[in-house]
Structure 1
Amino acid sequence: MPYAPRQQGPSCFDRIKMGFTMGMCVGMASGFVFGGFTCLRYGMRGRELIQTLGKTMLQGGGTFGTFMAVGTGIRC
């Protein structure tokens, strides 16, 4: 019987990167929604709105991405 090579799945590090990326996307989307409503409720406009919203999105994305990466790393 001839040798049939098997494909390997993604490495543990690749899975952790993917978990972080997915968490970052979800966190940034939720940061946009919740941060946007909060900024508009406080009456922010223009540059202040964009800066605060961007900061909120990065914080939410980084936090959720980190938790997703850790959770994925535990499952490896």
Structure 2
Amino acid sequence: MPVVPGGAYQSPSCWDRIKMGFAIGFCVGMASGALFGGYSAFRYGLRGRELINNVGKTMLQGGGTFGTFMAVGTGIRC
């Protein structure tokens, strides 16, 4: 963001808020995907490469889903 002369604060645009909402939602979804995906993968008895692939897929799905919902919610509030 460009520096505003005179020390005035410029609030972020709506698009910046939507991007930040998606980023925060993506991080939260990745963390929850790691927890729930890791637990379910251990329950199914996965180990090694299967475990990493399964947990990674769950993390990306959770991150994308929650990030999208957070972006939409942030866009509604703009």
- TM-score, scaled to structure 1: 0.92
Counterpart of 1:21?
23
Counterpart of 2:68?
66
Q: Among all aligned residue pairs of Structure 1 and Structure 2, give the percentage whose two residues are the same amino acid.
A: 74
Deviant stretches of 4+, over 2 Å: 4-7
- Provide the C-alpha distance between the structure 2 equivalents of 1:67 and 1:12, rounded to a whole number of angstroms: 16
Q: Structure 2: which 5+ residue stretches go unaligned?
A: 1-5
Q: Structure 1: which 5+ residue stretches go unaligned?
A: none
Over alpha carbons, which structure has the higher Rg? Answer: 1
Q: CA deviation at 1:6?
A: 2.9
How do 1:33-72 residues align onto structure 2 when only pairs under 5 Å count?
A: 33-72=35-74
Letter in 1 for 2:29: G
- Provide the C-alpha distance between the structure 1 equivalents of 2:25 and 2:7, rounded to a whole number of angstroms: 33
- Provide the C-alpha distance between the structure 2 equivalents of 1:41 and 1:74, rounded to a whole number of angstroms: 39
Q: CA RMSD in A?
A: 1.0
- TM-score, scaled to structure 2: 0.90
Letter in 2 for 1:68: M
Q: CA deviation at 1:5?
A: 6.4
Are 1:7 and 2:5 counterparts?
Answer: no
